[in-house]
């Protein structure tokens, strides 16, 4: 396990372990909601990339 207080520079700390612990304790509805946001984001990125490639 990494030290969550380890500095990486510019005042940014490695808080990945804290994020994972929080998400592991999250309810199913939060996981489902987050999955929806991720799918929506992926869809928007694909649409944007398609537009960019059509303009090239």
Note the pLDDT tens digit of each residue in 13-31.
566 767 777 777 766 666 6
Q: What is the mean pLDDT of residues 22-44?
A: 78
pLDDT at 33: 79
| Total-model pTM | 0.43
Q: Which residue has the tokens 């960019």?
A: 52
Instruction: Provide the pLDDT confidence category of residue 49 given band limits of 50, 70 and 90.
Output: very high
Integer angstrom CA distances of residue 33 from 5, 23, 28, 38: 29, 12, 9, 9
Residue 2 pLDDT more than 60?
A: no
- Mean pLDDT across the chain, nearest whole number? 75
Residue 11 has what pLDDT?
A: 56
């Amino acid at each position: 396990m990494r030290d969550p207080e380890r500095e990486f520079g510019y005042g940014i700390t490695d808080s990945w372990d804290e994020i994972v612990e929080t998400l592991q304790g999250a309810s199913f509805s939060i996981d489902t909601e987050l999955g929806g946001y991720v799918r929506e984001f992926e869809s928007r990125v694909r649409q944007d990339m398609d537009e960019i490639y059509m303009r090239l």
